[in-house]
Amino acid sequence: MTDNPLATSLKRVHFEEGLQKKILENLSAYEEKKSLQPWATIVLVTSLVTIVILWLLEKRKTHVD
């Protein structure tokens, strides 16, 4: 990096301590969440299908009665 007064002034602007660590943690959390998404979708769809089947069976039973 060029050493000149402007660069020195810009370098003196302080940012949050541990910013790199925080960014890496957030990226890691994002990847983890992303990898869980397909499973969440499967569970949700299976649950919905089960509810619909149970509702249809119940409806049919009521109709027969």
Partner 1 sequence: MDLTRCVELYTDLIVRTAFTYVKNRADAQDIAQEVFLALLLHKKEFESDEHQKAWLLRVTINKSKNHLRSHWFQKRVALNEELTDMDGDHLELLEAFMKLPEKYRTPLHLHAYAGYSIKEIAEILGKKESTIGTRLSRARERLGALLGEDHDG
Question: Cβ contacts of residue 22 below 8 Å, gap of 6+?
Answer: 16
Q: With binding defined as CB under 8 A, does residue 10 bind partner 1?
A: yes
CB of 7 within 8 A of CB of 1?
Answer: yes
Q: Given candidates 23, 43, 48, 56, which one binds partner 1 under the rule CB under 8 A?
A: 23
**Of residues 10 and 40, the one with the C-beta less far from partner 1:** 10
**Of residues 25 and 58, the one with the C-beta less far from partner 1:** 25
**Of residues 8 and 41, the one with the C-beta less far from partner 1:** 8
The whole-angstrom separation of Cα 32 and Cα 34 is 5
